[in-house]
Amino acid sequence: MNGRAPHKGVRPFYCNVPDLGDPLPPMHSPDDIQYALETTQVLREPDSRIQTFGETRFEFQLISELMDRTGEVRIRTGEVEAMRPRILRPSAYQEVELEGFDASARARFDKLVEKLKDDGKDLAFLQYGFRFRRGQVHEEIIHDSLENVRERVLEDIRRSGNPSRAIIEGVDDAWEISILKFSFEMILRSHEINAFDFKRRGLI
């Protein structure tokens, strides 16, 4: 991934790909999704961004307070793999389906994409995909306050310096929406430099 100034004018398109064989995520109401999106915080971003010409693997630790018990925090540890961005022309926009995570999140993603399209003239879209294996997420329950667990997790990552790990604070019963928001934020932080790399090679 090149670190030079980003190219403007190319907007991202989002496509999440499920891992077949993983259990299906539970359905959430629009209110549940809205709450999870509003309250999720990425406490620490990975140092890297989505690579333009290869796949990128991000690790995550997601902390969430249990909904029905006080003084208990769940830590989920797993990986999200961002596939190599692909170039789509505007005519292909309606032909690509958004899959994975909670199906009701599609409408919210569509609104976000439309807002980005309205910000400027679009010459092309960059399509992003993620592989997220729910079945390979490790869970641990900690008997402590959310504040103490948050500080310990952040201190651990400060000591280890793992450049590919994100620390996320989210909602326990809609935690996959928190991962969705993290994935979306990584796209927003990566798409301009990805577009610049494509343009530099004369691909867009």
pLDDT of the residue at 20: 33
Buried b (16+ CB within 10 A) or exposed e, 48-65: ebbbbeeebebbbbbbbb
Query: Residue 194's closest CA among 85, 112, 45, 91?
Result: 85
Measure the CA–CA gap between 119 and 116, rounded to whole angstroms: 5
* Alpha-carbon 71 to chain mean position: 28
| Helical H segments across 40-98, by residue range | none
In 8-119, beta strands by DSSP E:
11-14, 17-18, 41-44, 56-65, 73-82, 86-88
Identify the pLDDT of residue 6. Answer: 43
Give 10-residue mean pLDDT values along the chain (204 residues): 44 46 62 90 93 92 93 95 80 45 59 63 66 85 97 95 94 91 89 89 84
**pLDDT computed for residue 19 by the predictor:** 46
Strands 17-18 and 11-14: unpaired
List the domain boundaries for the chain. 11-200
> Tokens 């010409």 map to which residue?
53
Instruction: State the alpha helices, DSSP H only, in 40-174.
Output: 106-118, 146-160
DSSP 8-state symbol, 184: H
